Amino acid sequence: MTLKRFLLYITNNEEMPRHEPQFDIAFFVINTVALVVGCVLLSVSGEIAWIPFLIIEYTWALDNMRHNRE
């Protein structure tokens, strides 16, 4: 596999995109855990002003996943 084909594959930008539901599930679980743990850690540390940024990144990541997997 050439470097170009590999990069197209991992960014899901091939002409015929591959829908791999197990990656969607793993991505969703990892991002959800990161959001929850991040919110808890930021709440405990008193830096709650960063929580909206976590939520924005979370929703951006999920939207990006949805668009890339259509």
In this predicted model, which residue has the larger pLDDT, 2 or 11? 2
Residue 69 DSSP code: T
Is the backbone of residue 14 left (phi > 0), alpha (psi -120 to 50) or beta?
A: beta
Q: What is the mean pLDDT of residues 53-67?
A: 80
Q: Output the pLDDT for position 27.
A: 79
- What is the separation, in whole angstroms, between the first and last Cα of the chain? 24
Q: Output the pLDDT for position 69.
A: 58
Q: List, in order, residues 6 or more apart from 35 with CB less than 8 Å away.
A: 54, 55, 58
Give the pLDDT confidence of 17-54 residue by residue, as tens digits.
666 677 777 878 888 888 899 999 999 998 889 889 88
Give the global pTM: 0.62
Q: Output the pLDDT for position 1.
A: 66
Rounded Cα distance between 26 and 31, Å, is 8
Rounded Cα distance between 52 and 16, Å, is 36
